[in-house]
């Protein structure tokens, strides 16, 4: 029983972590229909920037946190401006391949600077955050993840559903020429969505770094783990990202706990294939409306 | 005896009948060049190249076969597969298992491995009944991971992470154990498979594939059974990947699951994008580019490694290989999104039209 | 009639991808508060003219190479669509380009993009007033609306931007005759009540000339005929080629129908 609860808590917090990582990804997909294969590398960029600022430059936590978020916001902006903007109007596969190329660039750069070892942040989360339920102890990192994840997800959910800027972003994803004809600033929408994606990615990169340590390979593989998460939830749904994240998180911890550790890495993909067979647009995704 | 009229190039793209549209060679010069090319490829190159160069050419030949196959799927049918690295691996393992465990001669195992891979590819193509675009892409990504897992975990059959040897028994006195003999095997297969592909593309099937790519709903309305064609495209394209994988296995003598990872899938896509989507020659150009790039990059790092004072430096710049690889893909897509095939076309037509380019 | 020119197009040429010339020397003048119709057959360059005005040529690799476009006496040719829409020119694209995955109300809200941050409640009410059918479906995804509703939606969406000049591209495309009449009635109403200047591109020459004040006929990238709508309706060539009624009246035998040879010989 204790083992079960332990897995449950681990799974749910892992799920929120996945959901948070998926958020930036969904952001870009929602505004420009681009699958960003460089998302894991964006996470890693954020995590390493934070590492540089806290551990090496020894700035105060709050300051370096703010600086990291700003830095990654700018990074997303720059990536859009210099790499994606020239491709507006090209085939989707070109854009996807471009993000693959970007991923390789970032990964190479990070490995060049930081090497392939695992780094650690200095301890900074207050231990009071941890919660003790009658059987198990939930560490403060998990609680923090949970709070941050929920906060961001709610924020973005409301942003897309109700704010004008959010609606403009969705309109661009939906029908770009029509959005242009109504004066939606399409380039600004793209830039903004990449910038926000960079920011959210940095956020989740830091949290991941606190939990698992910071390692280029590990963080960039999380970028691929995002795919089953968002597909399960439906590529463009934020609440779907949470559900997808939690499902994948639970699946992973339970498979790892009860079946075998090697199956753990692969189980999300197996489930993914089955779900796609039954519900081709994920559990919460918009069904494609096709009219000829 | 009727005299055959020779065709020369016209100053422009003037097709007067559908037959002209379907011809492979517009002019007899094209035919002549191709014959000269094949003679050089098979008659001259293997005798003047060192075994290092033959090794590079062989690698290019193997990957080019897989890239041509993938191009049918992505460039002509419009289905993006992120699982071709794994399909390539399936072919390699099929060849290894057939030769070592079933004792089938390598030459016979080659097409068999292709057929097995085609079967596996079609299984992963089944989601294309209902899935479209990005969702399908991700389903193939899942396929990649699942196959990788099976290759590592099914130790009884695949030898797990240890790998498996490929036995290479000779048939009719033809043994494949030198770079040169493999060169002939690879490039004869390459020429044959390219010929098949070019001809598939100009038949009913090719036109159906393109129709599915451009608008699958309209294609369905025209009476094309789209699922059948999508599956067929998966099948043919995986056959090419599997055949290439089998060649790879034979050439390498022993294989481990390691090379058939997601990165290989991405490399294949990079090849056809850099070469130019929807062009057979483009896939070959792209393969040449990617293989040479990674070869040049490893030569540079090795060189720096061996020169005394830079050894330490070289270890740290090794990751930059990946950086340069990514950068070249990015630059290519930004500056020439239609790929090398387009550059080649422009160069050729400016020669053809010279000196009256307007 | 000494109304001011809202939009003045002076002898423009438009070239796509640096090679295909679509417009060759088109000149138009649109007076404040009028409805001006631009009619012509397929491929005459009507849509291109609209796109030249609204700046939407750019994403299609087209360019105004010669001539000038002046809106309220300021030159606007080759500006980006963002700038042009913010000056008050809104184009309603051909073929009902709705946002499929947004609800009707969200579709309308996208129309406020040019004046982001200001209140839009009143405009919503105005649009629902013009098109009561939309009010009933405000929470429906636009992808599930009928063709008529969508046409209303895209016109309403453009109205949300408070346009000074509304460019309508074939609002009658694919609609039943009754609905066409309804749409045109509303266009007229918008023109009268909001005092919006409208440039209307149509295949349905009959309807277009009925509500317009002034009209232009295009062929092969040129304006071949222009005049007050009343004059155009009576013009024998327009009658024959665009309105489908002959000069002589109803009883026309096929014997007399040699006039196709006269086509393309306006000037």
Residue C244: is it exposed, middle or buried by C-beta count within 10 angstroms (0-12/13-18/19+)? exposed
Distance of CA B134 to the CA centre of its chain: 22
The closest alpha carbon to C256, from C247, C243, C244, belongs to C247
d(CA C188, CA C192): 6
Residue C220 contacts residue C190 (beta carbons within 8 Å): no
* Domain presence at residue A29: yes
d(CA C201, CA B122): 50
Instruction: Give the bridge partners for C31, in sequence order.
Output: C5
Structural domain boundaries, residue A93: 2-278
Which domains are present in chain B?
53-353 (1.10.3470)
CA distances from C95 to A87, A116, B331 (A): 26, 54, 37
**Max Cα-Cα span within chain B:** 74
Instruction: Give the bridge partners for C199, in sequence order.
Output: C36, C167
* Domain presence at residue A176: yes
* Domain presence at residue A288: no
Mean pLDDT within B313-325: 71
Instruction: Name chain A contacts of C98, Cβ cutoff 8 Å.
Output: 175, 178
Instruction: Name chain B contacts of A94, Cβ cutoff 8 Å.
Output: 273, 333, 337
pLDDT at B357 over 60: no
Task: Name C87's Cβ contacts closer than 8 Å, sequence gap at least 6.
Answer: C71, C72, C74, C76, C164
* Domain presence at residue A286: no
d(CA C7, CA A239): 48
3-state DSSP assignment of residue B300: helix
Q: Which residue from A minimizes the CA distance to C53? A: A181
* Domain presence at residue A194: yes
pLDDT at C241 over 80: no
* Domain presence at residue A70: yes
Mean pLDDT estimate for chain C = 83
- CB within 8 Å: A182 and C141: no
| Backbone angles phi and psi of C74, in degrees to 5 | -115, 140
CB atoms within 10 A of CB C12: 22
pLDDT at C48 over 60: yes
**∠ CA A137-A222-B270, rounded to 5°:** 175
Residue B278: is it exposed, middle or buried by C-beta count within 10 angstroms (0-12/13-18/19+)? buried
pLDDT digits (tens, 9 = 90+) for A248-269: 888 888 888 888 777 888 888 8
pLDDT score at A290: 53
Rg of chain A (C-alpha set)? 19
pLDDT digits (tens, 9 = 90+) for B132-159: 667 788 888 888 888 888 888 887 777 7
d(CA B332, CA B341): 12
CB atoms within 10 A of CB A188: 14
Confidence of residue C266 (pLDDT cuts 50, 70, 90): very low
Q: Who has greater pLDDT, B163 or C190? A: C190
d(CA A202, CA A72): 6
pLDDT > 70 in chain B, percent? 83
d(CA A269, CA A277): 12
pLDDT digits (tens, 9 = 90+) for C128-139: 988 888 888 888
Distance of CA B255 to the CA centre of its chain: 19
Distance of CA C160 to the CA centre of its chain: 17
pLDDT score at B243: 93
pLDDT at C20 over 70: yes
Residue C98 contacts residue C105 (beta carbons within 8 Å): no
Segments in chain A forming alpha helices (H): 2-32, 39-51, 61-79, 92-114, 140-162, 164-174, 176-181, 186-212, 216-233, 238-254, 261-264, 267-278
Angle between the N-to-C axes of helices B84-100 and B226-252, in degrees from 0 to 180, rounded to the nearest 10? 60
Angle between the N-to-C axes of helices C177-193 and C121-130, in degrees from 0 to 180, rounded to the nearest 10? 140
| Backbone angles phi and psi of B165, in degrees to 5 | -80, 160
Q: Which chains, if any, share at least 3 CB pairs under 8 A with chain A?
A: B, C
Mean pLDDT within B279-306: 83
pLDDT score at A243: 84
The closest alpha carbon to B237, from B203, B274, B280, belongs to B280
Mean pLDDT within A78-105: 83
Distance (Å) from the alpha carbon of A167 to chain C's nearest alpha carbon = 7
Residue C41 contacts residue C204 (beta carbons within 8 Å): no
The closest alpha carbon to B324, from B353, B293, B288, belongs to B293
| Backbone angles phi and psi of A276, in degrees to 5 | -65, -30
Residue A281 contacts residue A47 (beta carbons within 8 Å): no
CA distances from B69 to A3, A69, B53, B205, B242 (A): 49, 44, 25, 14, 10
The closest alpha carbon to B111, from B252, B243, B247, B251, belongs to B243
pLDDT at A134 over 70: no
Of the given ranges (A79-83, B42-46, B322-326, C60-64), which has the lowest mean pLDDT? B42-46
pLDDT score at C245: 65
pLDDT > 70 in chain A, percent? 91
Residue B116 contacts residue B242 (beta carbons within 8 Å): yes
Of the given ranges (A281-285, B118-122, C181-185), which has the lowest mean pLDDT? A281-285
Give chain A's domain count. Answer: 1
d(CA C215, CA B204): 49
The closest alpha carbon to B227, from B239, B214, B216, B240, belongs to B216
Residue A233 contacts residue A241 (beta carbons within 8 Å): yes
Instruction: Give the bridge partners for C74, in sequence order.
Output: C71
Q: Who has greater pLDDT, C188 or B347? A: C188
Mean pLDDT within A142-163: 82
pLDDT score at B348: 75
Distance (Å) from the alpha carbon of B53 to chain A's nearest alpha carbon = 27
| Backbone angles phi and psi of C75, in degrees to 5 | -75, 130
Best interface-test mutation with B: which of A108, A222, A252, A270 has the largest number of B CBs within 10 A? A108
Q: Between A108, A263, A277, which is nearest B319 by CB?
A: A108
Of the given ranges (A8-17, A204-213, C211-220, C233-242), which has the lowest mean pLDDT? C233-242
- CB within 8 Å: C93 and A181: yes
- CB within 8 Å: A167 and C100: no
d(CA B67, CA B197): 12
d(CA A32, CA C44): 33
Confidence of residue B342 (pLDDT cuts 50, 70, 90): confident
CA distances from C144 to A174, A179, A182, A280 (A): 14, 19, 21, 20
pLDDT score at A282: 67
3-state DSSP assignment of residue C170: coil
Mean pLDDT within A163-181: 86
Confidence of residue B66 (pLDDT cuts 50, 70, 90): very high
State the DSSP code for B260: S
3-state DSSP assignment of residue B353: helix
Q: Which residue from A minimizes the CA distance to C147? A: A291
CB atoms within 10 A of CB C132: 9
Mean pLDDT within C34-51: 88
Residue A34 contacts residue A273 (beta carbons within 8 Å): no
The DSSP secondary structure of B264-287, one letter per residue, reads HHHHHHHHHHHH-TT-HHHHHHHH
Mean pLDDT estimate for chain B = 80
Residue B73 contacts residue B206 (beta carbons within 8 Å): no
CATH number at residue A106: 1.10.3470
d(CA B176, CA B107): 9
d(CA B68, CA B194): 8
pLDDT score at B274: 85
pLDDT at A15 over 80: yes
Distance (Å) from the alpha carbon of C34 to chain A's nearest alpha carbon = 22
pLDDT at C264 over 50: no
Mean pLDDT within B330-351: 79
* Domain presence at residue A289: no
* Domain presence at residue A285: no
pLDDT digits (tens, 9 = 90+) for B90-147: 999 988 888 888 878 888 888 899 999 999 988 888 877 777 667 788 888 888 888 8
CB atoms within 10 A of CB C93: 24
Confidence of residue B244 (pLDDT cuts 50, 70, 90): very high
* Chain C residues touching chain A at CB-CB below 8 Å: 54, 56, 59, 81-82, 85-86, 90-93, 97-102, 106-107, 109-114, 116-117, 141, 143-144, 154, 157-158, 161
pTM for the whole structure: 0.77
């Amino acid at each position: 029983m204790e083992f079960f609860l332990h897995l449950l808590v681990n799974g749910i917090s892992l799920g929120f972590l996945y959901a948070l990582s998926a958020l930036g990804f969904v952001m870009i997909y929602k505004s420009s229909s681009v699958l960003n294969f460089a998302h894991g590398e964006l996470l890693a960029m954020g995590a390493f920037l934070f590492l540089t600022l806290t551990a090496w430059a020894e700035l105060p936590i709050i300051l370096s946190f703010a600086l990291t978020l700003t830095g990654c916001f700018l990074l997303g902006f720059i990536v859009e401006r210099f790499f994606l903007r020239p491709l507006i109007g090209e085939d989707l596969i070109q854009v996807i391949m471009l993000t693959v190329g970007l991923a390789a660039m970032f990964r190479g750069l990070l490995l060049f600077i930081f090497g392939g070892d695992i780094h650690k942040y200095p301890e900074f989360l207050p231990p009071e955050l941890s919660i003790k339920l009658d059987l198990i102890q939930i560490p403060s990192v998990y609680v923090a993840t949970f709070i941050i994840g929920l906060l961001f997800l709610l924020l973005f959910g409301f942003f897309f559903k109700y704010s004008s800027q959010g609606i403009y972003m969705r309109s661009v994803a939906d029908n770009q020429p029509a959005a242009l004809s109504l004066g939606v600033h399409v380039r600004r929408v793209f830039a903004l969505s990449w910038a926000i994606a960079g920011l959210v990615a940095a956020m989740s990169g830091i949290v991941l770094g606190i939990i698992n340590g910071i390692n280029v390979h590990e963080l960039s593989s999380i970028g691929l783990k995002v795919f089953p998460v968002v597909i399960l939830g439906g590529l463009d749904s934020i609440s779907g990202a949470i559900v997808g994240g939690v499902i994948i998180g639970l699946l992973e911890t339970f498979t790892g706990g009860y079946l075998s550790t090697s199956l753990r890495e692969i189980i999300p993909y197996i489930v993914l294939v089955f779900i796609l067979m039954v519900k081709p647009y994920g559990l919460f995704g918009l069904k494609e409306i096709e009219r000829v | 005896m009727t005299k055959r009229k020779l065709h020369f190039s016209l100053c422009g793209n003037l097709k007067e009948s559908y037959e002209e549209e379907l011809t492979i060679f517009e002019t007899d010069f094209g035919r002549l060049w191709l014959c000269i090319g094949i003679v050089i490829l098979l008659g001259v190159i293997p005798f003047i190249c060192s075994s290092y160069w033959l090794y590079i050419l062989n690698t290019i030949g193997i990957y080019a076969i897989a890239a041509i196959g993938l191009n049918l799927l992505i460039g002509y049918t419009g289905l993006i597969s992120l699982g071709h690295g794994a399909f390539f691996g399936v072919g390699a393992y099929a060849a290894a298992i057939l030769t070592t465990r079933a004792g089938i001669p390598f030459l016979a195992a080659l097409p068999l491995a292709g057929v097995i891979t085609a079967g596996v590819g079609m299984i992963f193509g089944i989601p294309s009944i209902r899935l479209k675009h990005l969702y399908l892409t991700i389903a193939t990504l899942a396929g990649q991971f699942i196959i990788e897992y099976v290759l590592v975990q099914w130790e009884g059959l695949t030898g797990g992470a240890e790998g498996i040897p490929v036995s290479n028994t000779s048939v009719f006195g033809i043994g494949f154990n030198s770079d040169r003999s493999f060169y002939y095997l690879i490039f004869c297969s390459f020429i044959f498979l390219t010929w098949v592909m070019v001809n598939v593309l100009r038949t009913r099937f090719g036109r159906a594939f393109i129709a599915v790519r451009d608008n699958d709903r309209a294609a369905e309305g025209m009476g094309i059974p789209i699922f059948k064609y999508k599956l067929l495209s998966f099948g043919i394209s995986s056959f090419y990947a599997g055949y290439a994988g089998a060649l790879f296995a034979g050439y390498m003598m022993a294989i481990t699951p390691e090379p058939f990872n997601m990165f290989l899938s991405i490399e294949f896509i990079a090849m056809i994008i850099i070469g130019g989507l929807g062009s057979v020659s483009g896939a070959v150009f792209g393969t040449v580019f990617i293989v040479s790039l990674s070869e040049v990059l490893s030569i540079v790092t090795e060189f720096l490694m061996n020169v005394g004072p830079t050894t330490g430096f070289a270890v740290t710049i090794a990751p930059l290989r990946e950086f340069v690889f990514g950068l070249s893909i990015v630059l290519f897509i930004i500056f020439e999104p239609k790929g090398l095939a387009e550059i080649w076309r422009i160069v050729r037509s400016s020669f053809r039209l010279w000196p009256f380019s307007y | 009639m000494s109304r001011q020119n809202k939009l003045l197009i002076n002898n423009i040429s438009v070239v796509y991808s640096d090679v295909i010339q679509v417009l060759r020397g088109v000149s138009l003048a649109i007076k404040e508060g009028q409805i001006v119709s631009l009619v012509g057959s397929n491929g005459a360059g009507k849509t291109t003219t609209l796109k030249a005005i609204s700046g939407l040529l750019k994403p299609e690799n087209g360019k105004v190479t010669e001539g000038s476009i002046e809106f309220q006496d300021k030159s606007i040719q080759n500006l980006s669509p963002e700038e042009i829409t913010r000056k008050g020119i809104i184009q309603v694209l051909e073929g009902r380009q709705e946002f499929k995955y947004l609800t009707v109300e969200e579709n309308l809200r996208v129309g406020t993009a040019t004046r982001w941050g200001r209140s839009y409640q009143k405009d919503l009410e105005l649009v629902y007033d013009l098109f009561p059918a939309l009010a009933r479906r405000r929470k429906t995804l636009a992808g599930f609306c009928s063709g008529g509703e969508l046409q209303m939606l895209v016109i309403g969406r453009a109205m949300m931007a408070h346009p000074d000049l509304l460019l309508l591209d074939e609002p009658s495309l694919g609609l039943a005759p009754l609905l066409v009449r309804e749409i045109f009635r509303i266009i007229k109403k918008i023109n009268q009540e909001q005092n919006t200047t409208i440039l209307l591109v149509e295949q349905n020459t009959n309807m277009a000339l009925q509500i317009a004040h002034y009209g232009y006929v295009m062929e092969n990238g040129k304006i071949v005929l222009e005049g007050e709508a009343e004059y155009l309706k009576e013009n024998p060539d327009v009658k024959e080629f665009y309105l489908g009624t002959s000069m002589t009246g109803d009883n026309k035998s096929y014997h007399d129908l040699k006039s196709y040879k006269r086509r393309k010989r306006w000037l």
